[in-house]
Structure 1
């Protein structure tokens, strides 16, 4: 471990540079530069946003951190797109989840923050010239058409619920990285969870049942394995397009294999 004096100096608004023992660059994120800031008393996550300042996501994290859903923002510098958070120590999620996570996800979805809804069709069409869209355009268009006839289960969504954004420790499971948080159909998050954790058909049924039980006050939740399946198609297409655009072939290839397997289960 080492101490980068430049990074330590950038942290001076929330911790004295001389108190910083180590600055460790974290490499598990592609969208931003992240650093673990270690001091004798506590650790922090220092984040440098590359693309945009996630005002809504930071607002959500401030609110949801009160319920131990996610780390709390403790310092924000919008001008330079820097932010600091309490650091939650733990491991990235494996292919399992807990009721604690489902409870926290339901709390995110019902937190009361409302934004213009994500336009799924528009997001998909952004990749209309990509190889993945051209290869599966009939399936993708069928999925979008079918979803347009189904009830919408609107909520405030994380929108990037891959297991890299789920931290696990002895106290429970926590969500991180709310950069893409926005109002959306909650099935987008549920599909992301099912894909990232590689849930089988039985586990997906259980996921929907457990999620519905956590949304006690929202009995109108449309519990549908078919809807989940089509959202999985959309989520996979968007993720593959995103990774291939950035030449992250290993992740794209893994997701392509999942999409290929999913295609074999769909009649269209």
Structure 2
């Protein structure tokens, strides 16, 4: 029986390499396409969350009494987040805190937080993120002078959770010893236990112009769930999938079968 394959023929090795590359290309395209679809699903989920946030932000502002009623009867404050509020109360200026390393306009400074009592003595208290001030780099421990009215005040804002946490190397210490007014991060529950104040489990991001010449900037970033980021990731994964397909077709099909055989 005559063997048509010449000694040392590379055809078996070439066929084996072709099917191996085909398998790798199919698996890569399946993986990248799956990741692209997953990013689209994440974008749809984030878009639904953003729509819910926008719907809450468009509702009528809650008054102090309505906020107290809604927060006292609910175990979860999540449905209240991003709701606008119009509050009346008195500042507890002695408990004002300064969150360090917070940026606005590309400059580092402090977020100023002051508790607001929503009624007579003994009534519930909400922590208000009043605004941002730059820090003194010549004397880093120096606190800015913030004008805080002693009488009843009214303010507009939106409900939020605790301020965003930053990486903290070590706990901030005070001089003299005791709780420092300058802090890197703040936990509302821990602060309530520290001060003994009946704090609500959420905060208020104050909006509007600075009152009384306090000099607080309130150019807060818009609430964004990062929907566009997921669309960008999906485009990258689908683009990689298409690139693998194009390279496979060109090198393994067109150049393989279109070139003349000896």
TM-score, length basis structure 1? 0.21
More helix by share: 1
The structure whose Rg is larger is 2
- Which structure ranks higher in relative contact order (CA pairs < 8 Å, sequence separation ≥ 6)? 2
